[in-house]
Amino acid sequence: MGIIILAGDDTEFKVGDYIIMHREMTCIPSAPGTTYIFHTNKFTEDDIMDWANIVSYRLVVILDKKPKLTKRSEDYVVVHESLKALPDTFGASIGAMMKWRDRGAAHQVIKSLPVPVALAVWRNAHPDDINTARRLAQVSFTLPDEYAYAVFTYSINPNKPSRRLKPKKEDYEVPHGFRLSDLYTEDLIRLAPEVANQVRTTNIEALPKGVKKTKQAVLGWL
């Protein structure tokens, strides 16, 4: 039995005999002495357990985010340092800017934020805050950053923002036969019944939201 490695980068594993796969496990990772590198958006602990007894040597799964793991899989998986969580550099400063009611104390913490980061967070959380927008327009890029930090401190209402500070990132699974760079994948699936039926056959979960999961009749010329 081999080992499954969860990593954030595949550079270190491109040595010897290796096979690279994207989005679909197109090869069974059972060849001795061969490293299988699998790039995917999602790989759960259940997936680890399903493949654990099949991997002959090494299966390296490249992910953006570490999945939730328990003791059930600890003998079968290794988390590479390239996937380990990095410290949240700006989390405390963003929290101070958006939530702290003691604005005097918040001011000292907010100043550790780069102005472009503070602008991006404020725009996302308070898109309708016209007064703050006008104040920032008067000081940004013309006066020292201290003035922008003062606006971020004393103009923003630290109550509940009108939007979430960190919008949820939705994973998008590319249907079989399409590439990630294809611009009209969703349009083709929605407008061409024969294409949609093919996706229903190969991977029904990859259908765009709102598209029926049951196969549709396709009309043709006699």
**111 pLDDT higher than 80:** yes
**81 pLDDT higher than 50:** yes
Length of the chain: 222
* Amino acid 169: pLDDT: 46
User: pTM value?
Assistant: 0.44
Q: 183 versus 6: which is more confidently predicted?
A: 6
Confidence of residue 23 (pLDDT cuts 50, 70, 90): confident
**215 pLDDT higher than 60:** yes
Confidence of residue 221 (pLDDT cuts 50, 70, 90): low
